[in-house]
Amino acid sequence: MIENSWREQLKYSRKTREDLNDFTLTESESAFFKYKGEMDKLPFMVNSYYSSLAENTPDDPIRRQFLPTINEYTVTDTELSDPLGEKQYTPVPRLIHRYRDRVLLLITDSCAMYCRHCFRRSFTGHNDGVVTSDELAAVCSYLSVHGEVNEILLSGGDPLTCSDGKIEEILKNIRSVRPDIAIRLATRIPVVLPMRITENLIGILSENGPVWLVTQFNHKNEISDLTEKKISSLIDKGIPVLNQSVLLKGVNDSVGALEELFQKLVRMRVKPYYLFQGDLASGTSHFRVPIERGREIMSQLRQRISGLALPVYAVDLPGGGGKIPLTENYAIRQDEQNYYFRNIEGRDYTYPREF
C-alpha cells in the first residue's frame, strides 16, 4: 500500500448499496438501504482499507462496525440525540468544559468512516465542517484565562481527517497561549485509515508535544501489520498511545475477544485505558450489552490478564452526569475497626481503618 494514499482512500469510500456489490448482504443490511420511513436517512461510509479487514460473513466483528442494519432506525424510549448532555457545558462554540481541569474541542465533523455504534452520530456527517481560525482564536482566548485547564482533548469527528496544515495550525495556536497544557488527540485513524499517519504528521505531533494519542480498537482483527508499524512509529517519536474500546454486542462482548485484544495492545505498547459501556445514542440499542454482563466479563478478565492490560470499565451517564467507573466492589462491609474485603478467589480479608 502506498504511504500517501489516504486521500484516495477517503475519496473512493463506499457510500451506497451499489458500492457493496462484492458483499452478500443480509436481509437486515439490505433493509437499511431500502428504508423509506419518516426518519432522516442515516449516512453510510467506509473506506476500502477498513472494509478489506472484514471477512464476507454476517457476524464478522469488523463488518458489524461498518455495515448498517435496519435496527438503526429503531429508537428506544431511553435513547437521546445528545446522549451526554454536552450542550449545557459549551462556553465557546465547539468547546465542552465538563470537568474542571480538562476541556474537549470538536475539531471537525468528518470521519474516515462512519462507525455504526458511534455516539456522536448527531454530530458527525452533518455540516459543521472544520474549526475555523476565528473559532480557534475564541478557544485560545478561553484557554488563556482558564489556567485551571491542564489538558485539552481534540476530538470530533476524527481530528486526523484534517490536513496537516490545519492540524499544525491548531496545535501551534494552542501551544502559543498555553505552552504547559497536555494535548490529547482522540482519533480512530490508526484503526480505520493507518496510512494517514505519515512521517510529516508524526513530526507535527511530536514537535508540538506533549501530545497523547487515544484511539479505539474494538477487536484484534482491526490490528493489521500497517497499523502496528504506524503505532510503533508514533510511540518511538514520543507520542504515547492509549486505547478506549466500546463494549459492543456481537463484536467484542466475550471474555476471549477482549482478552486477546488487550493482550495484543500491551505487546504493541498501547495501554488499554477505558472499556466503555454503550452510550444511549439513538438507534444503537442492538449494540448495547447490559451492565450486569459487562461487569461479569470484567471480573473474569481480572483473573486472567495483568493490571496493565486491564482497562477501566466506565459509563458516561446520560444527561450530562459524566463518566463514572463501573468497578467491581471488593469491600463487602466495614465497621469501626476494619474494612472487610473479598478477593478475586473469593477469600475474605480485613484491613484496619486506623493505624
Ligand X SMILES: *Cc1c(COP(=O)(O)O)cnc(C)c1O
Which of the following is catalytic: 49, 73, 116, 118?
118
Taking a C-beta distance cutoff of 8 angstroms, is the pair 179, 210 a contact?
A: no
241 DSSP β-pair partners: 213
Active site residue 313: no
Beta strands in 270-330 (DSSP E): 271-276, 312-317, 322-325
Check binding of 32 to ligand SF4 (CB under 6 A): no
Taking a C-beta distance cutoff of 8 angstroms, is the pair 259, 325 a contact?
A: no
Active site residue 120: yes
Check binding of 184 to ligand SF4 (CB under 6 A): no
Question: What is the sign, positive or negative, of the torsion defined by CA atoms of 166, 180, 239, 61?
Answer: negative
Check binding of 188 to ligand SF4 (CB under 6 A): yes
Active site residue 98: yes
H helix intervals, the chain: 6-11, 27-34, 48-52, 63-66, 133-145, 164-177, 189-192, 199-207, 225-236, 255-267, 291-304
Mark 252-281 with x for binding to ligand SF4 (rule: CB under 6 A) and - for no binding: ------------------------------
Mark 145-174 with x for binding to ligand SF4 (rule: CB under 6 A) and - for no binding: -----------xxx----------------
Of these partners, ligand SF4, ligand X, none, which one is at the site of residue 114 (CB under 5 to 8 Å by kind)? ligand SF4
Active site residue 115: yes
309 DSSP β-pair partners: none
Which of the following is catalytic: 64, 94, 120, 178?
120
Check binding of 323 to ligand X (CB under 6 A): yes
Phi, psi (5° rounding) for residue 324? -135, 140
Which of the following is catalytic: 50, 111, 114, 178?
111
Q: Of 98, 179, 89, which Cα lies nearest the Cα of 143? A: 179
The interface with ligand X within residues 95-124 (CB under 6 A) comprises 96, 98-99, 102, 104
Q: Which residues bind ligand X (CB under 6 A)?
A: 96, 98-99, 102, 104, 153, 323
Active-site residue list: 98-99, 102, 111, 115, 118, 120, 279, 316, 323
